Amino acid sequence: MGPFRILYLDMNSFFASVEQQLNPGLRGRPVAITAVDSESGACVAASYEAKAFGVKTGTSVRDARRLCPGITFLPSRHRLYVRFNLAVADVLDRHAELTHIRSVDEFQLALSGEARSLAGATGLVAGLKAAVAAEVGICLRFSAGIGPNHLLAKIAGKLEKPDGCRWLGPENMPEAIAHLSLDDLPGISEAMKARLYRARIFDIPSLHALDPRHARLIWRSVEGERFVRMLQGMEIPLIATERGGFGNSKVLAPEYRDPVRAYHVGRWLVEKASARLRRDGRVAARFSLQVSFLSGGTWARNVSCFPTQDTAIFLRLHRALWVRLWRSVRPGAVISLGVHLGDVDLLTARQGDLLLPLAPTELTRGEQVSKALDQINARFGDGAIRFGLNAPHPGFFERG
C-alpha cells in the first residue's frame, strides 16, 4: 500500500475553535462567527455544537437563532485567526515538512521516509494532533487526509470530520468516495458538473474510469487530464501559476452601506491592493470596480491605464468609475464592493516612456511617493498615513 506522498490537514471549525480556545466558557457550547453585527448578517463559521443544530456557513443570523436558541454570536476577528494559523503552521513545520499553507485553515505537508507508509503517516498525524493541542490549544483540532498526490489527500481530509484521519489511493479508489457527488470534489464547479453531465459522466466511478485524454477535451484544457490522472492516483506536481491580479472585496456592515460611505471603503480597498502590488514588485495596467446593491443587481466596469503601481492613479480611476456609476444608475444601499488591479507584470519588465520621460524600470514620482508611504506605515502602523479620506472596514469578508 502506498507510497503516500502528501498529508493534507483541514482545521475543524477553525474560527469558532479559536474563540473557544481563548474563552473556556464557550467550550462545548454552540458558537457562530458573523461577518457583521446585525440580524441581517450571516454566519461565516460555526462550531460543531452549532452545526449539530443545522447552523453552517452562510446561515443567516436570524435563521441560526431560530435553529439554535442558545447559540452565541461573535464578530469575526480575522487578524486573530491569521495569528493562530501561523502558530499552527510553526508547529507543523517543526514536526514535519510543511510545503504549503493552502488557506487560513488548511495545510499541505510532504511525506518522506517512514511516513510514506500508511502506518508511518497515521503515526505522524497522531503526533501532529498532540503537538498542536499542546503548543497551540486543546480546542484546535484537524482532520487529516493521506494520499499519493495533493488532490486525493485533500479529498481524504474532508471525509471524516471532526478530528478524523482517512487515506485514499489506487487500492481503495474509486469505491471509497463513490458516495460523493461530482461537485463534492475540489475543482468541480456547477458549470463543470454540467459539462461532465453533457459528456455522460454522472458519478465519480465514471469520472475515475475516464480516459485522461477525453478529460482534456471536456475541460477544454490540460487541467482535465491532470485532474483525472490525479484521481487515478498518479503523482502530478503542482504548477506554479502567474499572478493574475491584486484585489480586495468586502461585504459591508449596515453602517457602511450608504453609497458615499461605501465609496470611502472602496478607497481603503484601493490603498490595500496597491500596497500589495508594490510589495510583490509588480505594476498593473487595468483597474476594475464592482458594486453590488442591497436591492439586487451588480454594476461592474474596468478601465485601462499605463502600467503603474501608483496608488494615486488607481484612486483617480476609482473615483472616475464611481462618477460613471452615479450618473448611470443612481446607486442605493450597497451590500458589497470590490476593486481589482489587473493586467499585472513585473516592474522590471516595464518599458520606458519617452513622453513622460521615464526610463525602463524607473519609478515615477507618484510611485516614489507611494513607496515612501509604505515605509512610513510599515514603521508606525498600517494607516498611519493615508491618501486622503477613506473608511477602514475590518472584518472577515475580505479577499485578496
Q: What is the DSSP string of 344-378?
A: EEEGGG---BTTTTB-TTPPPHHHHHHHHHHHHHH
317 and 377 Cβ atoms separated by less than 8 Å: no
Residues belonging to the active site: 106
The DSSP letter of residue 252 is P
For the residues 134-139, what does the mean pLDDT come to?
96
Q: What is the pLDDT of residue 78?
A: 81
- Burial (0-12, 13-18, 19+ Cβ within 10 Å), 364: middle
Q: Angle, nearest 10°, between helix axes 365-380 and 259-279?
A: 90
Domains defined along the chain, listed by start: 1-166 (3.30.70.270), 173-241 (1.10.150.20), 245-399 (3.30.1490.100)
Predicted structure pTM score: 0.64
> Is the pLDDT confidence value at 95 over 80?
yes
Average pLDDT, the chain: 88
In sequence order, what are the residues at sequence separation of 6 or more whose Cβ sits closer than 8 angstroms to the Cβ of residue 31?
16, 19, 20, 46, 47, 49, 50, 71, 72, 73, 74
Q: Hey, what's the cell of 291? A: 458594486
Q: Give the pLDDT confidence of 217-274 residue by residue, as tens digits.
A: 999 888 899 999 999 999 876 655 555 688 888 878 788 889 999 999 999 999 999 9
> Is the pLDDT confidence value at 380 over 50?
yes
Q: Hey, what's the cell of 126? A: 497522531
CB atoms near residue 361 (< 10 Å): 13
Bridge partners (DSSP) listed for residue 247: 340
Hunting for cell 514588485 — which residue is that?
A: 281
For the residues 48-70, what does the mean pLDDT come to?
91
> Is the pLDDT confidence value at 356 over 80?
no
In angstroms, rounded to a whole number, what is the distance separating the alpha carbons of residues 111 and 108?
Answer: 10
